[in-house]
C-alpha cells in the first residue's frame, strides 16, 4: 500500500513538473518584460516580453547592432557590435527575388500598382489570445484575440491596395504556453503547401506603451518589431528579408519599425527562407493604433518582393527597368539599321537586274569576282614593302 501511494505521489509530482515546464517554458515571459541596456550609454535599448538570453541581438531604429552578454533577472546588458548596411542587404535581397520570380517580376508594366497574378503570402498567429487592453479590456482574449483582427485588416489592405492575395489562418493554438509553437508549426506547414512567397506570424508584444507608441497622420500608432530566431538554419535568408523590409520602411514610413530582435529560438522560421515574426505594438497600445501602422508598413512586403507599391513601382525598380529599356533600345536601333541597309541593297539590285534570277546571278558574280579581288587587294596592302 505504501509503495502504491509513493508511486502515485511520484507520478503526480512528475506530471506537475512537466505541466509547469510546458506552461512557462518558451520564448516569452508574459508576467514581466525584459529591459535591455546599452553598456556604454546606460540607456534602454529594448523592452520586450521575449525571454532575453546571452547571445541575443538587437538592431535598433538607427541600424545599430547590439549583442547581449549578461542577463540578471529581467535586466540584460548589451554592447555595440557594429552598424548594419541595410541598403546593401536590401539590394542583395532584390537580386535574389528577381532570380526566383524571373520574368514574372521584370515583365510588370512600368507604373503598375498590381502584384503579378498567382502570387500570395500566408498569415497566422502562434499566440492566439494576444489582445490590446485599451480595445478589449484585457491582454488575453480566447479563442481569438485582437491580433486576428489586425491580421484580417492587413490581408484586406494587401488585396485592395496592390492585388496581393493572402491566406489568413484563423486556427487557434491555445493555450499560450511553451508548446504553442509546436501547435502552430502544423498550421505553418499546411500554409506552406500553398506555396506562398512569404509566411508571417503576427503577434503583439508586452512592453510599456512608450516602447511602441508613435503617430500616424496625427493619430496614435503602434510601432512594429521584427523578430528572428537565431537557432534557425534559415537565419541568413530570413535576416536579409527582414533587412530589406526595414530598409524600405525606413525610407517610406520612418519610425514605424522599432527594430529587429534575434531571440534564442527558431519561431518555426526554419520552414521557409522568407518567414518572419512581427510584434504589432504592445498590450498597452490599442488595436486601432496597431492597424494604422500595419496598413502602411505592410506595403513594404509587395515592394521588396515584387517592386510594386500602391503608388506604382518603387524608385529602385524603375531605375533598373529604365536601364534595361535603354540597353534594349540601343540594340533594337542597331538591328533596325542593319535591316534597313539590307532592304535598301535588295531593292537597288532588283531595280537594276529586273528579276530575282538576275539578282542571284549578280550576287554570285560579286562573290566570285569582285569580293575576291577586294580580299586580294587587302592582303597585298597588308604585306611589308621590300627593303632596297
pLDDT digits (tens, 9 = 90+) for 138-176: 999 999 999 999 999 999 999 999 999 999 999 999 999
Task: Check residue 358 and give its pLDDT.
Answer: 65
Task: Check residue 385 and give its pLDDT.
Answer: 43
Task: Check residue 162 and give its pLDDT.
Answer: 94
Task: Check residue 28 and give its pLDDT.
Answer: 60
Q: End-to-end CA distance of the chain: give it in Å, rounded.
A: 130
Phi, then psi, of 68 in degrees rounded to 5: -75, 130
- Kindly give the parts of the chain with pLDDT less than 70: 1-31, 102-112, 313-388
Q: Where are the domains of the chain?
A: 85-313
Q: Which residues contact 91 (CB under 8 A, 6 or more apart)?
A: 316
Task: Check residue 97 and give its pLDDT.
Answer: 85
To the question of pTM greater than 0.85 for the whole model, the response is no
Q: Residues 237, 241, 247, CA angle at the centre, nearest 5°? A: 140
| Residue range 10-28, pLDDT digits in tens | 433 334 333 333 333 346 6
Mean pLDDT, all residues of the chain: 82
The matching CATH number, chosen from 3.20.20.70, 3.40.50.1950, 2.60.40.10, 3.40.630.40, for 85-313 is 3.40.630.40
Task: Check residue 29 and give its pLDDT.
Answer: 58
Give the CA distances from residue 89 to residues 85, 133, 146, 243, 275, in Å, rounded to whole numbers and listed in that order: 7, 37, 33, 6, 17
Give the pairing type, strands 257-263 and 57-59. antiparallel
Task: Check residue 9 and give its pLDDT.
Answer: 43
Task: Check residue 108 and give its pLDDT.
Answer: 58
Q: What's the rounded Cα separation, in Å, for the pair 350 and 353?
A: 5
Amino acid at each position: 500500500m505504501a509503495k502504491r501511494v509513493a508511486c502515485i505521489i511520484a507520478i503526480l509530482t512528475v506530471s506537475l513538473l512537466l505541466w509547469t515546464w510546458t506552461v512557462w517554458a518558451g520564448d516569452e515571459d508574459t508576467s514581466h518584460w525584459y529591459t535591455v541596456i546599452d553598456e556604454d550609454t546606460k540607456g534602454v535599448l529594448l523592452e520586450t516580453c521575449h525571454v532575453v538570453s546571452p547571445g541575443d541581438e538587437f538592431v535598433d531604429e538607427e541600424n545599430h547592432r547590439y549583442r547581449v552578454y549578461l542577463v540578471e533577472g529581467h535586466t540584460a546588458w548589451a554592447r555595440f557590435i557594429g552598424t548594419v548596411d541595410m541598403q546593401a542587404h536590401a539590394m542583395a535581397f532584390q537580386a535574389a527575388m528577381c532570380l526566383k520570380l524571373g520574368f514574372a517580376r521584370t515583365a510588370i508594366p512600368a507604373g503598375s500598382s498590381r502584384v503579378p497574378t498567382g502570387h500570395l503570402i500566408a498569415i497566422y498567429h502562434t499566440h492566439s489570445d494576444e489582445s490590446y487592453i485599451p480595445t478589449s479590456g484585457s491582454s488575453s482574449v480566447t479563442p481569438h484575440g485582437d491580433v486576428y483582427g489586425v491580421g484580417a485588416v492587413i490581408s484586406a489592405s494587401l488585396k485592395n491596395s496592390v492585388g496581393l492575395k493572402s491566406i489568413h489562418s484563423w486556427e487557434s493554438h491555445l493555450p499560450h504556453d511553451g508548446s504553442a509553437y509546436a501547435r502552430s508549426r502544423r498550421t505553418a506547414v499546411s500554409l506552406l503547401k500553398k506555396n506562398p512567397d512569404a509566411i508571417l506570424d503576427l503577434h503583439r508584444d508586452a512592453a510599456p506603451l512608450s516602447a511602441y507608441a508613435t503617430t500616424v497622420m496625427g493619430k496614435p500608432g503602434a510601432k512594429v518589431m521584427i523578430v528572428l530566431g537565431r537557432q534557425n538554419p534559415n537565419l541568413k535568408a530570413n535576416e536579409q528579408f527582414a533587412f530589406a523590409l526595414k530598409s524600405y520602411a525606413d525610407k517610406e514610413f520612418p519610425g514605424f519599425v522599432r527594430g529587429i530582435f534575434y531571440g534564442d529560438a527558431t519561431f518555426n522560421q526554419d520552414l521557409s527562407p522568407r518567414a518572419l515574426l512581427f510584434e504589432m505594438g504592445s498590450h498597452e497600445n490599442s488595436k486601432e493604433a496597431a492597424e494604422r501602422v500595419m496598413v502602411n508598413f505592410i506595403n513594404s512586403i509587395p515592394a521588396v518582393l515584387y517592386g510594386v507599391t500602391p503608388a506604382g513601382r518603387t524608385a529602385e525598380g524603375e531605375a533598373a527597368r529604365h536601364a534595361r529599356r535603354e540597353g534594349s533600345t540601343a540594340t533594337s536601333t542597331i538591328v533596325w539599321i542593319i535591316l534597313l541597309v539590307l532592304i535598301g541593297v535588295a531593292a537597288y539590285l532588283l531595280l537594276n537586274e529586273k528579276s530575282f534570277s538576275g539578282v542571284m546571278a549578280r550576287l554570285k558574280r560579286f562573290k566570285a569576282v569582285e569580293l575576291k579581288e577586294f580580299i586580294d587587294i587587302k592582303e597585298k596592302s597588308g604585306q611589308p614593302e621590300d627593303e632596297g
